[in-house]
Amino acid sequence: MNDILPLVLVTRALPEGWLDGLRGRCRTVVGDAQTPGFDAPLLEALPDAEGILCLLTERIDGAVLDRAPRLRVVSTMAVGVDNIDLDACAARGIVVGHTPGVLTEATADLTMALLLAVARRLPDAAADARAGRWSTWSPTGWLGTDLHGASLGIVGLGKIGTAVARRARAFGMRLMHASPGPKPAVEAELGVERVPLTQLLAQSDVVSLHLPLSSDTHHLIDARALATMKSTALLINTARGAIVDPQALAHALHTGAIAGAGIDVTEPEPLPAEHPLYGCPNLLVLPHIGSATHGTRRRMAAVAVDNLLAGLVGSPLPHPVLPPRAPL
């Protein structure tokens, strides 16, 4: 019976139990747990693969698809799909699924954690305490930024941006957003004002990025955008690293063009240990852990499995990738 089951490539080994839904419904070839991309066994199996379950670290482009003539569905365990050539998939009749919604709250929590850590200079204060530089209580030591009454500019008021807005409102922050279209229900509920991006950058005390990576948003936050921001402003990025020009960010932090930044995503990713960003003042870099909770990652795997199985039998995907939205 196994000979008639569809073959599925799982690009990275996942913890026990996360892919139980595949048992008895397909054959699998599983990549190495620690190695991104397509290793030798995966490449060898591509010609017979009918489905791929991948992570955001695997590039699914025309070269990969050309080696997989039987492929019917690509299911990624992520919300963003910038690693997948959607046009190439569409041209071959391959459906693509992703995992929206299930990581919204975890990523919003991490966004607020970054915001708080950078605003209150927690990494600097903790490092000084550990290094013995905490000699006494100081009225001027480790001074940070007040959040209550500060303005938060959300670039991309989607599900995650909205969840961040709800949290920020509880902190007493004033809210604005720049998005491709109006969000009347959310704007009314949370008191979020929609403004042009240039106005948001110029007026926000904190700018938080929550938009997908595309040709329109690549290096959206460049030297000019950073120069538009207040010198006291903070930048938070939990979206995709390439939305921010890393060289421009390093320069802005070193010259004091902005006061600080917290980033969970980088360009490149992972960020090499010798990268200049690590030497920037008041910069907190995290290793892409926005969705890194036990429950969230397991739910992401379950949604990816559901998308994959639907695509294998020709049913509508529970969470298909929607067409890209217009630029800001």
Lookup: tokens for 198: 């240039």
Note if 254 is an active site residue.
no
- CB burial of 162-190 (b: ≥16 within 10 Å; e: otherwise) equals bbbbebbbebebbbbbbbeeebeebbeeb
Catalytic one of 210, 288, 299, 319: 288
Helix (H, G, I), strand (E, B), or coil: what is residue 70? coil
Instruction: Give dist(CA 26, CA 7) in Å, integer.
Output: 6
Catalytic one of 12, 174, 177, 240: 240
Note if 288 is an active site residue.
yes
Instruction: Give dist(CA 312, CA 238) in Å, integer.
Output: 32
Question: In the chain, count of helices (H) and strands (E)?
Answer: 11, 12
Catalytic one of 44, 70, 189, 269: 269
Note if 269 is an active site residue.
yes
270 cis-preceded (ω within 30 degrees of 0): yes
Nearest to 6 by CA among 309, 318, 320, 316: 309
- Measured between alpha carbons, how far is residue 273 from residues 89, 276, 279 in Å? 35, 9, 10
Instruction: Give dist(CA 303, CA 78) in Å, integer.
Output: 10
Give 269's contacts (C-beta < 8 A, 6+ positions apart).
241, 288
Q: Are 128 and 134 in contact (CB under 8 A)?
A: yes
Instruction: Give dist(CA 60, CA 84) in Å, integer.
Output: 5
Please list the active-site residues: 240, 269, 288
